Structure 1
Amino acid sequence: MTPLQLLSTIKPELRPKSVFKRIMFRIIDASPKVKGRTLEFIKDLKKEKHACEWALKLAQLLITNDNSWQKTESWTDKRGSKVHEYGKTTSALKHEQKIAIAQEANIDQKPDTPLLLATKHNCPEIVEEILKVYPQAVEHVDKEGHNILHLAILHRRLAIIDVMENMEYPLQRLRGRLDKKYNTLLHMVGLKANDLEDEVKDPAKQLKDDQRLYKRVAKISTTVDLMTRNSDMKTPQEVFFETNDKHREEAKRWMSENAKNCSIVAVLIATVAFTSAYQIPGGNNNGHPVLKGKPMFLLFALADAVSLSSAFTSVIIFLNIVTSPFRFKDFESSLYEKQLAALILLIISVAMMMVAFAATLVLTVSNNATWTNLTLYVVSFFPVFVFVYEYIQVYSKIIVDFWSMLKNMKVKVVLMFHDIWDYKRQSLHSVSGFVHLPTGSLV
């Protein structure tokens, strides 16, 4: 392997991924030698920036002077009709078979080109730099006839698909291409590489991601690709349904069990919140709360009301999920979003119930001593802090998914109102030159 091929397989970080690192890289210099007293994380950021910059320079240098595709030529597409074997002698056939076996063995020993290796190992920066220098490299295929888009979809390299979509020339060259088994880009969505089997995802999320990818690839594919059959005589949709039918069953079982368990928790929380609303801290005086004027009572009332409302709403959504038929189009439309919204409401309900408990404890036990109140605040709100700390990662994932769901809903609403606004009623008058034929006439 050449140095560029080796660099493409180790997935170097040429540019920082997080927004915080990008901002810090603009502020600090890239000198690895730190003079004077500096914070430890600043030293690490300086070293990391230095490594990223020199890795990018190395990649650009190797790409500019690379000739690995001359040594490791792309495998040409050998589909199509073959010469009929009628009339050939047995010895000639055996000789050709030996030559074919030797050629295949030689092909298997060749490594892929740097562009294909960078695609398999998810190095979008190297892919982008290669295509800037050598746009004709998009013609490279591996021994299975897969081009860069085939591999990006097969290995679920979404960042590389983004790079290809932003480049008009490579995208136009690869639309409608087939591999040696006549698989289109849409066929590859139904397939999946072996290295993705170790990824741990819930079945509903995995199925939803595959459906989004299918829609995305369908937009950049040709119309013929939707109807093309591969060597197994299957269309892209048939391959997708057959591959994901197992995921659909797993997602159905997983979502049903989660919805049932979460609905039980939501009902318990709603019961406690409903009871707390009628047994308020401090009691009543002729129907009016005794502690009505205190700020903590207002916090208790708001937290209890939000907890009760969120719990009831989540129960309704969970019941809707349990009674769903769990078809492919249900997962594609809103089934996963419903579960996401119900989980968010359940988390809000639990958090508000903890806040209501803390406010009740402060109202009933507090006295005028400052240290007593401070101790009560710490003890009362401690479960809230523990809850937030334990679920902070879940919060971040849920917020990101919920935000993307809102963006998709916004796009759908805008398109819907755009269609309504641009609607033009068809004229009821006959078109000029239209010939009215008698009933039963055949044109």
Structure 2
Amino acid sequence: MSLAARIPERMDDVGETPLILATKSGIVEIVEEILRLYPQAVEHVDDEGRNVLHVAIKYRELKIFELVTKMEVPMKRLVRKIDNEGNSILHTVGVKRKDFVSEKMEGPAFLLQEELLWFERVEKVTPPHFISHHNSQNLSAECLFITANSELRSSAKEWMKSTAEGSSVVAVLIATVAFAAAYTVPGGPNQSTGVPVLVNKPFFVVFTVSDVLSLTFALTSVVTFLSILSSPFRFKDFKHTLPNKLMAGFTFLFLSVAMMMVAFGSTIFLTIYNKENWAKVTLYTVSFIPVCIFALSYFPLYSSLSKTYKYLLENFPLTKLVLSKPCTMMSKCLKCCQVQTSESHIP
């Protein structure tokens, strides 16, 4: 018996079709194999009237969603499917399964950002006249999404505020230390002229530049975190604006810590300039321990924020043009080169 004969067309036959069950379980390999051997299975629906696209969106299976959206002919019908409750595929973004738990242990702001990216992703493949469609509860997809994620938005707002407040305190402390260090230069000033005693030492320039940069980066970080605290915290702000500000603030904060450690190391070198080299290397290494700890502690946060820039890069128009039509662009370049070559041989 062939695979096509063994696969039921509706859930009423055995409870769930293999395609729907594999989609819920997130088993991409089985979904690919079913669609390869039996492409008609993509039309199957469950007892709630949901097709594979509805299920992939509800269970947040991105790979399966992208796999189905590449099927151009079935997609024209799948995106127009309305389930038994009147929900379109865009409504399904606001419908989560009750036992849904994110696989990544992230802050609520990143969870909300992921939901917003899902809404944007599905909205791009939704026909325009289905975007304003109302379900049986007389809710549009956007209203349903806002209602479903209102609690998550409140949690994300509190998390973002507490993170910005704590980080701004650290940035202010670093700025205070850097500002004070500018008036207490290593070795002190000359009592008669007021010029620093160690001004001619090579590490004095390093100390001056690093201290100024540390103060600059710290103050920039403070301003960035204050802009987060003064934000209206709208839904759309959590998609790109607030994560970008948070990443910029942490970047400037990290740079200010690094520059402060460079200034500290330069101060130590100036005070023990005539000591052995091994002592300099040891002190220089020890002075950068806080920088390493800071970088390691915030690496998970940076990895979470990096997905925003990855998504933006993938959806940037120029990037999509280059990636989708590399052969066309290359052929045009070759034709231009051939024309120029032929013209150069014309007497």
Q: TM-score normalized by structure 1?
A: 0.64
Alpha-carbon distance between aligned partners in 2 of 1:231 and 1:242, rounded to the nearest angstrom: 15
- Contact 1:341–1:402 at 8 Å: present in 2 too? no
Corresponding residue to 1:357 among 264, 278, 283: 264
User: Of 215, 223, 232, which aligns to 2:128?
Assistant: 223
With over 3 angstroms needed to count, the CA separation of the structure-2 counterparts of 1:273 and 1:214, relative to structure 1, is same
The reply on whether 1:237 has 2:172 as its aligned counterpart is no
SS of equivalent residue, structure 1 residue 233: coil
CA distance in 1, matches of 2:312, 2:53: 29
Number of residue pairs the alignment of both structures matches? 318
Query: Could you list the per-position Cα deviations for residues 272-298 of structure 1 after superposition, in whole angstroms to 9, with x for gaps in the alignment?
Result: 111112222233344544434544333
Identity %: 43
Alignment of 1:14-93 (within 5 A): 67=3, 70-71=5-6, 73-75=8-10
Instruction: In structure 1, list runs of 5 or more residues that go unmatched.
Output: 1-64, 77-106, 415-443
Paired residue for 1:403?
Answer: 309
Answer yes or no: is the 8 Å Cα contact 2:254–2:291 preserved in 1: no
1:160 paired to 2:39: no
Q: Show the counterpart of 2:153.
A: 248
- The answer to whether the 8 Å contact 1:119/1:152 transfers is yes
Residue 202 and residue 182 in structure 1: after superposition, are their counterparts in 2 closer, same or farther (change >3 A)?
same
Task: Pick closer, same or farther for the CA change 1:298–1:135 going to 2, 3 Å.
Answer: farther
Say which of 245, 248, 259 aligns to 1:338.
Answer: 245
Q: Which of 309, 313, 320 in structure 1 is aligned with 2:220?
A: 313
Considering Cα pairs closer than 8 Å and 6+ residues apart, tell me whether 1 or 2 has the greater RCO: 2
Distance in 1, Cα, partners of 2:148 & 2:65: 22
AA at the equivalent of 1:365 = I
* Corresponding residue for residue 194 of structure 1: 98
**Match of 2:310, as an amino acid?**
S
1:333 to partner: Cα distance: 5.4
Following superposition, the deviation at residue 405 of structure 1 comes to 7.4
Per-residue deviation, residues 89-108 of structure 1 (Å, max 9, x unmatched): xxxxxxxxxxxxxxxxxx4x
Q: State the Cα distance separating 1:150 from its structure 2 match.
A: 0.6
State the 1:72 CA deviation.
5.5
Cα 1:167/1:299, change in 2 over 3 Å: farther
- Pairing 1:173–2:77 present: yes
Name stretches of at least 5 consecutive residues in structure 2 with no aligned partner: 321-347
Larger radius of gyration: 1
1:246 Cα deviation (Å)? Answer: 1.2
Q: Is the 8 A contact 1:361 1:380 kept in 2?
A: no
Q: Is the 8 A contact 2:10 2:47 kept in 1?
A: yes
1:202–1:251 contact (8 Å) kept in structure 2: yes
SS in 2 for 1:150: helix
- The residue type paired with residue 331 of structure 1 is F
Q: Is the 8 A contact 2:87 2:134 kept in 1?
A: yes
**Aligned pair 1:388/2:288, yes or no?**
no
User: Are the structure 2 counterparts of residues 395 and 375 from structure 1 closer, same or farther at C-alpha, using a change threshold of 3 Å?
Assistant: same
TM-score (norm 2): 0.80
**Residue type of the partner of 1:252?**
K
Letter in 2 for 1:236: A
Helix, strand or coil at the partner of 1:284 = coil
Cα RMSD over matched residues?
Answer: 3.0
